[in-house]
Every structure is written in structure tokens, then in C-alpha cells.
């Protein structure tokens, strides 16, 4: 699943997973509050750049592990390579409001 998050487009796997967690909370009487914070802050520019480099390096390691047949290590690196993009949050919000894909 982590690999699917790296493929651009409204991947339904992550949407189903996220929505199922929200539904589980609601079913157990919890009123979830979800905050999507994707704005870049000028004061955190260096940190964001560092995180971006880390994600790119993780993606390179994931691809190398996948090529060598080490699926477990590849998946772990793919998880570290994921960057939650604004479009991903938008798709989840659309699904929760009933207008999703």
C-alpha cells in the first residue's frame, strides 16, 4: 500500500483505509476531528527541504530493495518516502462529504 501512495492520482486504497479508521471511531462513539495541515511555513523551509531529501533517499532505497527482491525492506522504505500531498487530503474530504470518487 505504501508504494501506491507514491503513484500520482486519487488512489482508492489510501482513501478506503483512512475512511475506515474514521468510521471505526464514529462507530465507537468518538467524534473525530481531522486536521489537514499542508501549508509550507517559511520558518520551516530548511526542515521541509531536509524531509524532502530524506523522502527521495528513502524512495531510492525502496527501489533498490524492490529490484533485489527484498519486499519487506522495500515496503519499509516506501513508507518513509510518502509525502501526503494536498490532493490526497482533498480526495478524503470529498469522500467523507459524499462527493468522492
Residues 79 and 60 in one domain: yes
Assess whether pLDDT exceeds 60 at residue 9. no
Residues 34 and 4 in one domain: yes
pTM higher than 0.75: no
Q: DSSP states of the chain as a string?
A: -TTGGGSSS--HHHHHHHHHHHHHHHHTT---------PPPGGGHHHHHHHHHHHHHHHHHHHHHHHTT-HHHHHHHHHHH----HHHHHHHHHHHTT---
Residues 27 and 60 in one domain: no
What pLDDT is recorded for position 11?
59
Residues 34 and 58 in one domain: no
Residues 3 and 19 in one domain: yes
Residues 34 and 1 in one domain: yes
Task: Give the mean model confidence (pLDDT) for residues 41-55.
Answer: 92
Lowest mean pLDDT among 28-37, 56-65, 75-84, 91-100: 91-100
Range of the domain at 2: 1-38+85-101
Q: In the chain, how many domains are there?
A: 2
Amino acid at each position: 500500500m505504501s508504494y501506491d501512495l507514491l503513484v500520482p492520482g486519487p488512489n482508492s486504497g489510501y482513501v478506503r483505509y483512512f475512511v475506515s479508521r474514521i468510521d471505526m471511531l464514529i462507530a465507537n462513539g468518538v467524534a473525530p476531528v481531522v486536521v489537514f495541515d499542508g501549508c509550507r511555513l517559511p520558518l520551516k523551509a530548511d526542515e521541509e527541504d531536509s524531509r524532502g531529501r530524506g523522502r527521495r533517499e528513502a524512495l531510492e532505497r525502496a527501489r533498490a530493495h524492490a529490484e533485489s527482491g527484498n519486499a519487506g525492506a522495500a515496503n519499509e522504505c516506501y513508507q518513509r518516502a510518502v509525502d501526503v500531498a494536498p490532493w490526497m487530503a482533498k480526495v478524503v474530504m470529498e469522500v467523507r462529504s459524499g462527493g468522492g470518487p
